[in-house]
Chain A
Amino acid sequence: MHLLEVENLTKRFGGLTAVDNLSFTVDEGEIIGIIGPNGAGKTTLFNLITGFLKPDSGTVKFKGEDITRLEPYRIVNKGIARTFQVVRPFHHLPTIANVMVSLESPRGSRKIEWVKSPERKALELLEDVGLTDMMLEPAEILSHGDLKRLEIARALATDPELLLLDEPFAGLNPIETDFLTKSVRTMHMDGHTMVMVEHKLHALMKLAKRVIVLHYGAKIAEGKPEEIAKNKKVIEIYMGRKA
């Protein structure tokens, strides 16, 4: 049984088809990359999977269960977590409290040792992403790179099986990119399955075992990173055709 099954997913906004009859699967333990030019429907896809948008047709199945019509918080509590492309911190709360919010959810609080001391668990998670020295600062003063790390910590705090990362490398300098690459590998080893939307292809290609290419909402290619890099159609949509 696949961990995540997306079948014939379609979403239209007025006359624009954002996601066009898309189907793919994700198995446990994989790292999947989703690439495609801007406007290809990648974030819409995430929104559809996590319940923030409802599709016009098609289904999303998680561990065999149909989650298409569920509310976002229920989906999170089933084991899918996501980060946002534009970071959404809780700016009035200190960094550690940001993570503690996730620990208040039913899924985040179910592990007994977490509930006994959510501060401790939050601290651990902050250590994993390297934000401990900013622990008590209000989230609004964090830098962009730090905020991205906070997003990941917050997502991890919900104890997900599947992690959806929406452009996690956007706006990071080389050092932060390096750190995040290592973090992703660590998370993978910890047993999290990951689907990543990313534009920074070199970072993505290093991490992903399988890459899906979207264009105008439809899947035009799927395969190993090396294959995709050589795929003529993919090169065309990124580079344009030779006149």
Chain B
Amino acid sequence: MATYFRRVYLSFAEHVLDVPPRLLASMIFLILLAYPITKPPLTILYVLSVANIMAIFAASWDLLVGRTGQMNLGHALFFGTAAYATALFCKFFNLQLWVTIPLGALIGVSVALIIGFPCLRVKGPYLALVTLTFPLILISVVKYFREITGGEEPIINPRFFPGLPMYGKQLADYYLTLALLFVSGVILYKIANSRMGIVMVSILDNELASKACGINVTKYKLLAFAISGLFGSLAGAFMTHMGSGASVNYNTYLGVALSFQAIIIAIFGGVGTIYGPIAAAYILVILDMYGLGKIFGWFASNNLIPASIIQIESSMHWIMYTLVIIILIIKWPRGIGRFTTDKLKDLQEARELEERGKHIWKTYKRKKEESEHASTRS
């Protein structure tokens, strides 16, 4: 009986909730853990640290939007709130980072709950518009209290382990963000695939029916906002103490571009999967910060393309990037990640069908032989 239900649960998870092999995930994590042994340059470590942060940022967005169906175009709100909170706590109260960061996250969660309330009764396009403006409101607040927040001027923040040499600090950043990614990723994933996650998907699919099942939809929506806000805040709180330019300013930390980034990453990886955005974050961040320049450079240095293209590329960087995104969205609205996993699933089903077909044929042949045996005997 127990094995039956275990099998039920496993294939239930496998079929619809897209569980990747745990082994694969653990292996990748171990590789990431051991990677610094190869003494990579500072910039690569920094890029990977940013990738870790963006992974959690996008995954937290995914839980709210992909799993609970609450469209959120202003995810940067949590990021920026926590970032400013921890920066201000450091600046004015001189607290240690292991105090300010949780405090920042706490404030981020509170903000999430505060905005969760007006968002409860709002749906679809209205919700999208409204969430887009929340970070804007915060930016106005930041600008208003410019004596405290510095307004246009960024606040320079202390880093983790400021005593270490430059490479050491970057290494610390890397491992800290990796730990954050691991813990947050596992938590987010477990929540999304738990019974709470099932209720969240029910809200996504048919809120009315969910209410008819006795679910307190308000409670679950607020929960989703809170959890999404928590991890989005943590991402922001960590990010602002990282790298040689550890600072916070409202353009980078509260801007539309940041919210947009989370959405792009999540769509790329597959909305609703949690692990998809994590993987996509790595790919996109590495490509964006490190890869594209290198790729073009390699092509140019080998004289495969004229060098003038690089010039165009740098000034039109944003335009090309956005154009590519638009084209991708038009071709694969559900994201490349989803597209590939769907295709893979189809292939797998076809393979299974083939296997079963062979099995059925064998059984049929055996039965036929047996009946012929029986008839020849009698």
Whether the complex brings A and B within 8 Å at their CB atoms is answered yes
- Give residues in A with beta carbon < 8 Å to B: 50, 52, 71-73, 76-77, 81-82, 84, 88-94, 96-98, 100-102, 104-108, 117-120, 123, 135-138, 154-155, 157-158
B5 touches A119 (CB 8 A): yes
**Nearest 7 interchain pairs by C-beta:** A105-B214, A76-B214, A88-B209, A90-B205, A102-B213, A101-B202, A72-B211
Given contacts A84-B212, A102-B214, A157-B213, contact A93 B9 (CB under 8 A): no
A101 touches B16 (CB 8 A): no
Cα A91 to Cα B206 in complex, Å, equals 9
Picked from B8, B213, B272, the residue with its CB within 8 Å of the CB of A136 is B8
Tell me if B210 counts as interface (CB < 8 A to partner A).
yes
Tell me if B11 counts as interface (CB < 8 A to partner A).
yes
Which of the listed residues B5, B195, B205, B214 has the most CB atoms from chain A within 10 Å of its own CB?
Answer: B214
Tell me if B201 counts as interface (CB < 8 A to partner A).
yes
B212 touches A108 (CB 8 A): no
Cα A131 to Cα B211 in complex, Å, equals 23
A101 touches B211 (CB 8 A): no
In chain B, positions 245-288 with a C-beta closer than 8 Å to chain A are: 272
Cα A104 to Cα B215 in complex, Å, equals 7
A119 touches B206 (CB 8 A): no
| Chain B residues with CB under 8 A of A104 | 195-196, 198-199, 213, 215
B202 touches A90 (CB 8 A): yes
Query: Chain A: which residue is nearest B208 at the CB level?
Result: A88
CB distance from A157 to the nearest CB of B (A): 7
Given contacts A90-B202, A97-B12, A135-B8, contact A158 B208 (CB under 8 A): no
Tell me if B217 counts as interface (CB < 8 A to partner A).
yes
CB distance from B64 to the nearest CB of A (A): 16
Given contacts A90-B205, A93-B198, contact A120 B5 (CB under 8 A): yes
Query: Chain A: which residue is nearest B215 at the CB level?
Result: A105
| Chain A residues with CB under 8 A of B8 | 96, 119, 123, 135-136
B214 touches A108 (CB 8 A): yes
Cα A76 to Cα B212 in complex, Å, equals 7
Picked from A84, A107, A118, the residue with its CB within 8 Å of the CB of B214 is A107
Tell me if B223 counts as interface (CB < 8 A to partner A).
no
| Chain A residues with CB under 8 A of B314 | none
Tell me if B22 counts as interface (CB < 8 A to partner A).
no
B213 touches A101 (CB 8 A): yes
Cα A100 to Cα B199 in complex, Å, equals 8
Cα A119 to Cα B9 in complex, Å, equals 8
| Chain A residues with CB under 8 A of B5 | 117, 119-120
| Chain A residues with CB under 8 A of B211 | 52, 71-73, 76
Cα A117 to Cα B8 in complex, Å, equals 12
In chain B, positions 1-48 with a C-beta closer than 8 Å to chain A are: 5, 8-9, 11-12, 15-16
CB distance from B273 to the nearest CB of A (A): 12
B215 touches A73 (CB 8 A): yes
Cα A92 to Cα B193 in complex, Å, equals 13
B206 touches A89 (CB 8 A): yes
| Chain A residues with CB under 8 A of B198 | 93, 97, 100-101, 104
CB distance from A86 to the nearest CB of B (A): 10
B15 touches A94 (CB 8 A): yes
Cα A117 to Cα B210 in complex, Å, equals 20
A93 touches B209 (CB 8 A): no
20 intermolecular pairs with C-beta atoms under 8 Å apart: A73-B217, A76-B214, A84-B209, A90-B202, A90-B206, A92-B205, A93-B198, A93-B202, A96-B8, A97-B201, A101-B198, A101-B210, A101-B213, A102-B214, A104-B195, A105-B213, A117-B5, A154-B209, A155-B212, A158-B214
| Chain B residues with CB under 8 A of A106 | 214, 216
B213 touches A93 (CB 8 A): no
Tell me if B329 counts as interface (CB < 8 A to partner A).
no
Tell me if B136 counts as interface (CB < 8 A to partner A).
no
A93 touches B201 (CB 8 A): yes
